[in-house]
Chains A and B, each alone.
Chain A
Amino acid sequence: MDEDDVLTTLKILIIGESGVGKSSLLLRFTDDTFDPEQSATIGVDFKVKTLSVDGNTAKLAIWDTAGQERFRTLTPSYYRGAQGVILVYDVSNQTSFQQLDQWLNELDTYSTKGDIVKMLIGNKIDKDKREVTRDQGLRFARKHTMLFIECSAKTKDGVQCAFEELVEKIIQTPGLWENDTKSRGVSLVGGKAGAAGQGCSGYCSVI
C-alpha cells in the first residue's frame, strides 16, 4: 500500500475479560489465521494493518490487551488517544458478559477522546454451548450506544466485517481523527458580518 494513500492512522484498542478471544480475533483479522493454542497475552500486544473502507485507506494500529485483573492496572494508559475500542465478550460465558459494565467504566475513566467509537463483539459463536443470547448483546449495545456484532475468530464469521464497520464509523465521526484543520469554532458576530462589513454598515453612516 502506498504511504500517500493512507488517509489517517487510527488507534484501536481491544479489551475484555481474559480468555474471551481478543488475541484470536486480532490474529484472524490481521493474518487470517486461527491458532487454538494462542498463548495468553502479557501486558499488551500490538499489530498493524491497513484497511480500505469506501475508498478511504486507514492504517490501523491495534493494541491487544491482557484481560487479567493484575494487568489492568497497566492497560488504562493505552486507552489514551484511541479512536476506537472493541469490547469483547464470550457468548459461551455469562460472566464475561456481566463484566462488560466494569470495562465500560474503565473506558469512560481513561479514554481521552470523548466521542471514541465503541464496538461490542460477542465472540465464539461457533461454540455449541451459548450462554448469552444475541438479543442480550444487542440490548447492551443499544443501551451504551455501541456498534454490535457477533462473530467467531475460529470460523472467521463476522471478523472482517466488524473491523470494517468500526473504521467506517470512526472515519465518519468528525473531529475524531482529522488533524483538526477545519475549526468548527464559534463565531460570535454571526455570518452577516462579512456582507455588512463590505457595504456601509447602517447607521454609523447617518450619525
Chain B
Amino acid sequence: MRIAPSCDMDTRMADDVEESEVFEITDFTTASEWERFIARLEQIIHDWKLTTYVKGPPLKKGEFSTGEWEEQAESINFATVCFTVTEYHLKQTAVVEGSTQEENEDSLPQAMEDMLLMENDFPPRAHCICRWYGLRHFVVLTPVANSDAVLSESKINLLLSSMAIAVNNTNCLLPIFAQIQQKWRRMYTGICEAPGARTTFDMVHLKRTPHQYGHMEGLINIFKSKIATPISPLPQVKASIRFTYVLHDWTQYAWSLQPPDLDSPLGDEVGYPGFKALPFGAVEDPINELHLSATWPSQAENTIVDNDVYSDLDASQAPQWSVRLRLTEKPQCLLGEYLSAFAELVHNRDSTDQLLGKPAFDDMDDETSEQISQALQRLTDPGRVHLPTLSSVVSRARTRIRSRQKQVEAPISIDTLNELLWHLFPDAANQDESSESCDESEKDDQTEPINVQPEVKEWYRHFKSGPEDGLTYKLAVAMCVVNHSHGGLKAVAHLWQEFVLEMRYRWENVFLIPGLASGNPNMGCCLLHQKLQMLNCCIARKKAREERQASQTESEDMTSRTPGSSDQNIASENQETGSATDDATGSITPFASANQLLGDDPASNEKPRSVSKVSLREGQSVKSDSDSEEEFFECDEDSFPGSPSKNKADLDSSEMEVEEVHFQVGSEALETDRRVAISEANNETRSQKPSGRLRPCGDLKLLNKDELLYIPVTQDPAPMTEDMLEEHAEVLAQLGTTSEGAELRAKMQSACLLSDMQAFKAANPGCELEDFVRWYSPRDWIEDEEEEEDEVEVMEEQEDEEGRAREEGGAREGGASRRRIKGCLSQRMMLPGNTWQEVWSQSKAVTAHLQKRLFDDTKEAEKVLHFLASLRPGEVVLHLLPLIIHAALRRLEEADVEEVPSLQPHFPGLVSKASRVTRAPTQDIRKYEELVKQISLIEEVIARSLSLKAKFLPPKSETETPRHTGALQQFVCDLMDKPEVPVIGAGRGPVGEAIHQLFGAAQRAAHMLPEVEADLQDSPGKVKYSHTHSSVPDFPRPAGREFIFRTVAPRPAPYSQPTPQRMYCVLVDEEFRLAGAFSQDTTFQ
C-alpha cells in the first residue's frame, strides 16, 4: 500500500521543484500534528545526511560484534508523545571512493543485501535488530516513556505510514524501525524503501512456543507461507541453525575449589592470621553459566531433518561450536570489599572520643597525668637517671593494655588487641620469651633489615607509601582487617588510640619504634611514615643523650673510687673528655650523633689508649672542667652569662696563643734534632686543646700551623618531614626575591654553617677561614699547582709510618714544605662582609655537643605525638590509604595477576596510576575510591580466571598431552577477554572434549533421580535430541534454538524481480519470536 502525501506536503516540497516561478502562498499554519511529525523526521534524516548513503565495504566475519557501533540520537514529538530517533551504524574502515560510485540504479540497497549474508549470523553481542535482520545501518524510533508505548493497531499503522512517507520523500535507503507494544517485548516494525523494491519488517512474539512450530519443519512452513510466491517450485531455502546449551552445574569443579588463601581468614577459628595479609578472592563462583552454542551454518533445507519425532541436530555433531560465559553479577570479592569498606571510613568526621565515648578519654587523662608526674620526678632527681630494662617496659605496656580494657567494653577484645599489638610491635612479643638476654643493641639490629628491602619492582619505586612489611604497612593492613571483621570504625578508632598510646609510651621510655626505615624521614614515604620516622629520630637522639649521661655518671663514680686503674674506666674517660689523639684512625667522641656512636668500635680506641693515659693524668683539671660543662648541655647558652661556651672560647683563645708559641719553637727547632721535645710539647697542647674531632680530612694540614686538618664532629642537620619542609620552604619563599630577602634567607640557614664553623674551630685550634673552606667547600680554595708533589710525598710518608715519633718527624718535614704552598680563597669568599666571613668571625670554638642544639627532639617528638593524637579516625584512614593500596596491589600480584593475559596492559597501568595518586600533593579520597574500584575489577577478573582454570585445567590431568593443555590454556585465555570463543574442532577437538565431559557430568548428576522422558512431557513441542550411549543424553535440552531462513524469491507477481526474503526465529523457554523481513517488487506487481 502506498500512502499519498497530503497536499500541504506537496506544496512544501514544491519549493525546489518546477513551480518555483509561480508565486503562491504556502501556508503551514494549519499543518496537523502528523504532518509536523513527518516534517521533523525528514529534517532529521536530512540533518544526518542519510539520503546520500553510500554502500560500505563487505562485512568481515564477526564484524557485528567486534566492530565499533556508532549511535546518534534526536528527540521528536508526535502530538504529546515523545520519541527518540536513533541511528545505529557499524563503523567501518574508510570506503574506497571508486568502488562506491559504480553502483547502478537497479542494485538493491545495502540493507536488503545484508539480509542474505551468512558471515555474521548469530553475533554474540549486537543490537537485537542487527541480530535479527543482519543489518549494519538502521534507524530506530522509540517512545521515550514506557507509558507511551504504541499499543493499538491503528497507531502502529499511523507510525509506520509516517515513516514510509518520510523515507520516500527523502529517498532514504536505510531501513527504519519503530518500537511497538510494551518495551520489554522488544517488538519492532519497520520498512526499507528502495527504487523498485520495498522490504517490510514484521514480528511475531509469543510467550509459549506453539506445538506445531517447535521444530525446523514447522518454521520453514511459516516462512514459505509468508513469502507466498506464486511460482513453483519455491526457490530453495537456506537455513542457519544454532542451538545453545547451558551448563550451570559444575559438579566436581564446584566452587569449593577456591583459591587457597580464601580459607585462612575465614576458616581458621584460632588466632587472627588475617591481620598480616589482605584477603583475596571471590566467595562465590564468579562464573555463573557456560553457554555452548552448536551452529550449523547455512544448510540447505532438505539436508536436515528436524521434526516432531526425529532430529538430525545433535550438538556433538555440529560443525561449529562456540562458548560464552555468563558471569555472576558483582560477585562478592573479598579484597575489594575490604578496601571499599575501609575507604568508606574517610568520609566519617567523628573524632576518636566521639566514637569511643568518654571512659576511654578519661583513662587517657590518667595516663598522661601519671606520665607527667613521672617526668617531674625525673627532673627533680637528675642524678639518677634510670634506664628501664626492656622487659619491664614491655610488661608495663601489657598491664596497661589489660587494665585499660577491663572497664570499657572495647570494640576490640583484649585478646585480639594484644595479638594485634604483638603483630605490630614484634619486639615486645620477642621480649616476652627471652626477657633479659636481648639488650638494646640487639634491638637496633631488629630494625635494620627494614632497610634491606626485598627487591621491589621498579614500578613501586615511586610509590609514596612505606616499606613493605614495615610498621605503617602492617598497621594499614591490620586496620583494614579490623574495620571489616572486628567492629568497623569504632574498632579502627580503638586500635588507633592504642597505637598512639604505644607511640607515646615508646617516646617516654626511650624505646625505638620497630619496623621503620632508620634515618631521617624519607620523603618517598607517606606522611604518616615520615612522622613515625621523625619520632624515631627523636627517640634515638634522646636515647643517645641519656646513654651518654648514664655512662658519664657511672664513670664519674668509678673515677672517684679508683682513678685511672681499670682499662674500661680509662676508655670511658678517654671518650668523655673528647681528647682525641692524632692517631689516623680517629677516635669518635661521645658527642657524635647517635648513628656514629652506635657504629663506634671499641677496638679502634685500642691504640690511643696508652697515650691518652698520660695525657689524662696531665690534664686532669681540664677534664673535670669539661665534666662540669656537660651538665649544662640542656641549657640555653644565652641564659647563662658565664656559660660553658664562653669559658671554652676564652680557653681556646688562650690556647691559640700557646699554640703559636709552640709553633715558633717548632720551626726554630727544625734545624736541629729536637724531635722528642717537640713531640712532648705537642702532646701537651693536644691533650688540652682540640676537641670534637671526627677524623683527619685526608692529608690536609692547617695552613699556618703544622697540624693535620680535622673534620669535626658536627651536629646532624635537623630531620624534617615533608609538611615541615613545606612550611620551611614557604617561609623561605615568602622572604621574596629581593637581595635583602636572599640575605635574610642565607642568615636563616646559616645556623648549620655556624655550628659547623664552631665545631671546626674547636677541633682545629688556630685554624683560619681558609682551612675551613678547604674542608667545607674545596672548590673555593685555589691552590698553586707546583707544590702538589711535595704534599703527596708527605702523605705517603705518613701513611707508611707506624712509630709515633717518626710520624711526628715526618709531619715536621711535611710542614716545612707545606709552608711554601701558595693558595688563596676564591673571589667570592674574599668579598668583604660576605656571609661566610661574617659567620666565621662570629663563631667561637665550640664542640658540637656544647652547641645549641639544632634539633630539639623533645619539642619535635611532642609535635609528632600531638599530630598523631589529633587525627580523626577518618583522617587516619586517609593517611593509611597509600599503604593499603600498595598492599592491595601486592596482593593482586601474589594472586598471579600477571598470568592473566587480559590484564597484562591494565595492571602496570593501574600501578603507575596508583603511584601518581599517592604522590599527589593533596590526597584525594575520590581518586582512591576510583583506585579501589579498579582493584576490585581486577580482583574479579583474576577470580574469574582462577575459576576457569579450576574448571578447564584441573591440576592432575595425566591423560592430557601438552598439546591439549596448550589448547585448553589458550581457550581459557580467550574466554577471559572475548565475548564468544569459537571451539576449534568443535566437539572433536581437545577443548570440545573437555566441554563435552563437563556437560556429560552435569547431566549424569542431574539425572540421578528423574527420567529423561519426564522432561519431555513438560514441553510437548520439544524433540528429544539423540543420546550417545546411555539413556541420559550428554547434552541437556537446548535452552535456546535459533533459526535463520533465507531465500530469494519474486514477489508479489511471478514476473516480479526476485528479492531477498529472510526470517529469524528464536525459541527459548519463555519466548517464541519470529522476525521476518519480506521484500517485494514495487514496479512489477
Interface on A for B, CB 8 Å cutoff?
17-19, 30, 36-48, 61, 63, 67-71, 73-74, 76-81, 93, 95-96, 110, 112-114, 175, 180, 183-186, 188, 191-192, 195-196, 198-207
Which of B71, B464, B742, B836 gathers the greatest number of chain A CB atoms within 10 Å? B742
Known A-B contacts A47-B737, A202-B124, A203-B291; the reply to A185 vs B749 at CB < 8 A is no
B284-325 interface with A by 8 A CB criterion: 291, 324
A18 touches B780 (CB 8 A): yes
Known A-B contacts A180-B916, A185-B930, A186-B906; the reply to A198 vs B835 at CB < 8 A is no
Known A-B contacts A74-B752, A206-B244; the reply to A19 vs B1039 at CB < 8 A is no
Q: Which residue of B lies closest to A37 (CB)?
A: B831
Which of A36, A78, A110, A205 gathers the greatest number of chain B CB atoms within 10 Å? A205
The 3 closest A-B pairs by CB, nearest first: A43-B749, A199-B127, A202-B125
A175 touches B916 (CB 8 A): yes
Q: Which residue of B lies closest to A71 (CB)?
A: B752
Is B920 located at the chain interface by the 8 A CB criterion? yes
Is B881 located at the chain interface by the 8 A CB criterion? no
Is B938 located at the chain interface by the 8 A CB criterion? yes
Looking at the assembled complex, report how far the CB atom of A67 sits from the nearest CB atom of chain B, in whole angstroms.
8
How far does the alpha carbon of A123 sit from the alpha carbon of B745 in the complex, in Å? 25
How far does the alpha carbon of A96 sit from the alpha carbon of B393 in the complex, in Å? 52
How far does the alpha carbon of A95 sit from the alpha carbon of B779 in the complex, in Å? 10
B38-70 interface with A by 8 A CB criterion: 65, 68-70
Is B180 located at the chain interface by the 8 A CB criterion? no
Looking at the assembled complex, report how far the CB atom of A188 sits from the nearest CB atom of chain B, in whole angstroms.
5
A113 interface neighbour in B127, B291, B919, Cβ under 8 Å: B919
B737 touches A46 (CB 8 A): yes
Is B909 located at the chain interface by the 8 A CB criterion? yes
Known: A186-B910, A186-B913, A188-B937. 20 other contacts (CB 8 A): A18-B777, A19-B779, A19-B780, A40-B835, A42-B836, A43-B745, A43-B746, A77-B725, A80-B523, A96-B779, A110-B523, A110-B524, A112-B524, A113-B462, A114-B461, A185-B930, A198-B71, A199-B126, A205-B131, A207-B1040
How far does the alpha carbon of A206 sit from the alpha carbon of B523 in the complex, in Å? 57
B827 touches A36 (CB 8 A): yes
The 6 sampled A-B contact pairs (Cβ below 8 Å) are A46-B729, A67-B779, A186-B909, A192-B68, A200-B128, A205-B131
Write out the residue numbers on chain A whose beta carbons fall within 8 Å of the beta carbon of B326: 204
B733 touches A61 (CB 8 A): yes
Write out the residue numbers on chain B whose beta carbons fall within 8 Å of the beta carbon of A30: 737
B745 touches A45 (CB 8 A): yes
How far does the alpha carbon of A201 sit from the alpha carbon of B686 in the complex, in Å? 91
Write out the residue numbers on chain B whose beta carbons fall within 8 Å of the beta carbon of A38: 828
A185 interface neighbour in B735, B934, B938, B1068, Cβ under 8 Å: B934
B746 touches A199 (CB 8 A): no
Write out the residue numbers on chain A whose beta carbons fall within 8 Å of the beta carbon of B125: 192, 196, 201-203
Looking at the assembled complex, report how far the CB atom of B405 sits from the nearest CB atom of chain A, in whole angstroms.
41
Is B610 located at the chain interface by the 8 A CB criterion? no
How far does the alpha carbon of A71 sit from the alpha carbon of B756 in the complex, in Å? 11
B752 touches A43 (CB 8 A): yes
B979-1029 interface with A by 8 A CB criterion: 979-980
Is B762 located at the chain interface by the 8 A CB criterion? no
A207 touches B71 (CB 8 A): no
B913 touches A81 (CB 8 A): no
How far does the alpha carbon of A198 sit from the alpha carbon of B941 in the complex, in Å? 23
Looking at the assembled complex, report how far the CB atom of B242 sits from the nearest CB atom of chain A, in whole angstroms.
9
Looking at the assembled complex, report how far the CB atom of A27 sits from the nearest CB atom of chain B, in whole angstroms.
10
B749 touches A44 (CB 8 A): yes
How far does the alpha carbon of A48 sit from the alpha carbon of B733 in the complex, in Å? 9
Interface size class of B (residues with CB under 8 A): 35 or more
How far does the alpha carbon of A192 sit from the alpha carbon of B749 in the complex, in Å? 59
Chain B, 1061-1076, contact with A by CB distance < 8 Å: what is the 0/1 string?
0000010100000000
A70 interface neighbour in B523, B756, B779, Cβ under 8 Å: B756
Write out the residue numbers on chain A whose beta carbons fall within 8 Å of the beta carbon of B725: 77-78, 80
B746 touches A188 (CB 8 A): no
B523 touches A40 (CB 8 A): no
Chain B, 66-88, contact with A by CB distance < 8 Å: what is the 0/1 string?
00111100000000000000001
Is B1053 located at the chain interface by the 8 A CB criterion? no
Write out the residue numbers on chain A whose beta carbons fall within 8 Å of the beta carbon of B745: 43-46
Write out the residue numbers on chain B whose beta carbons fall within 8 Å of the beta carbon of A183: 913, 927, 930
Write out the residue numbers on chain A whose beta carbons fall within 8 Å of the beta carbon of B65: 202
A42 interface neighbour in B737, B750, B829, B919, Cβ under 8 Å: B750
Which of A44, A95, A175 gathers the greatest number of chain B CB atoms within 10 Å? A44
B71 touches A195 (CB 8 A): yes
Write out the residue numbers on chain B whose beta carbons fall within 8 Å of the beta carbon of A114: 461-462, 912, 915
A40 touches B780 (CB 8 A): yes
How far does the alpha carbon of A22 sit from the alpha carbon of B639 in the complex, in Å? 40
Is B722 located at the chain interface by the 8 A CB criterion? yes
Write out the residue numbers on chain B whose beta carbons fall within 8 Å of the beta carbon of A195: 68-71
How far does the alpha carbon of A199 sit from the alpha carbon of B70 in the complex, in Å? 11
A80 interface neighbour in B130, B722, B735, Cβ under 8 Å: B722
A44 interface neighbour in B244, B732, B779, B1042, Cβ under 8 Å: B732
Write out the residue numbers on chain B whose beta carbons fall within 8 Å of the beta carbon of A79: 523
Write out the residue numbers on chain A whose beta carbons fall within 8 Å of the beta carbon of B753: 42
Looking at the assembled complex, report how far the CB atom of A122 sits from the nearest CB atom of chain B, in whole angstroms.
16
Q: Which residue of B lies closest to A19 (CB)?
A: B779
Write out the residue numbers on chain B whose beta carbons fall within 8 Å of the beta carbon of A70: 714, 752, 756, 776
Looking at the assembled complex, report how far the CB atom of A4 sits from the nearest CB atom of chain B, in whole angstroms.
21
A202 touches B126 (CB 8 A): yes
Known A-B contacts A80-B523, A196-B125; the reply to A188 vs B921 at CB < 8 A is no
Q: Which residue of B lies closest to A108 (CB)?
A: B461
Is B720 located at the chain interface by the 8 A CB criterion? yes
Known A-B contacts A18-B779, A77-B523, A186-B906; the reply to A40 vs B1042 at CB < 8 A is no
Is B510 located at the chain interface by the 8 A CB criterion? no
Q: Which residue of B lies closest to A48 (CB)?
A: B737
Chain B, 743-776, contact with A by CB distance < 8 Å: what is the 0/1 string?
0011011101100100000000000000000001
How far does the alpha carbon of A39 sit from the alpha carbon of B1040 in the complex, in Å? 87
A45 touches B742 (CB 8 A): yes
Is B246 located at the chain interface by the 8 A CB criterion? yes
How far does the alpha carbon of A22 sit from the alpha carbon of B69 in the complex, in Å? 58
How far does the alpha carbon of A199 sit from the alpha carbon of B1040 in the complex, in Å? 20
Write out the residue numbers on chain A whose beta carbons fall within 8 Å of the beta carbon of B126: 196, 199, 202
Q: Which residue of B lies closest to A11 (CB)?
A: B729
How far does the alpha carbon of A19 sit from the alpha carbon of B831 in the complex, in Å? 15
Write out the residue numbers on chain A whose beta carbons fall within 8 Å of the beta carbon of B716: 73
Chain B, 348-371, contact with A by CB distance < 8 Å: what is the 0/1 string?
000000000000000000000000
Is B834 located at the chain interface by the 8 A CB criterion? yes
Chain B, 99-128, contact with A by CB distance < 8 Å: what is the 0/1 string?
000000000000000000000000111111
Write out the residue numbers on chain B whose beta carbons fall within 8 Å of the beta carbon of A198: 71
Write out the residue numbers on chain A whose beta carbons fall within 8 Å of the beta carbon of B461: 114
Looking at the assembled complex, report how far the CB atom of B1012 sits from the nearest CB atom of chain A, in whole angstroms.
21
Looking at the assembled complex, report how far the CB atom of A191 sits from the nearest CB atom of chain B, in whole angstroms.
7
How far does the alpha carbon of A39 sit from the alpha carbon of B979 in the complex, in Å? 70
Is B717 located at the chain interface by the 8 A CB criterion? yes
Is B384 located at the chain interface by the 8 A CB criterion? no
How far does the alpha carbon of A46 sit from the alpha carbon of B733 in the complex, in Å? 6
Known A-B contacts A38-B828, A113-B919; the reply to A205 vs B128 at CB < 8 A is yes
How far does the alpha carbon of A154 sit from the alpha carbon of B745 in the complex, in Å? 25
Write out the residue numbers on chain B whose beta carbons fall within 8 Å of the beta carbon of A77: 523, 720, 722, 725
A202 interface neighbour in B123, B748, B835, Cβ under 8 Å: B123
How far does the alpha carbon of A185 sit from the alpha carbon of B938 in the complex, in Å? 13
Known A-B contacts A185-B930, A199-B130; the reply to A39 vs B1042 at CB < 8 A is no
A42 touches B749 (CB 8 A): yes
Write out the residue numbers on chain A whose beta carbons fall within 8 Å of the beta carbon of B921: 81
Q: Which residue of B lies closest to A179 (CB)?
A: B920
Write out the residue numbers on chain B whose beta carbons fall within 8 Å of the beta carbon of A186: 905-906, 909-910, 913, 934
Write out the residue numbers on chain B whose beta carbons fall within 8 Å of the beta carbon of A207: 244, 246, 291, 1039-1040, 1068
B828 touches A40 (CB 8 A): yes
B69 touches A203 (CB 8 A): no
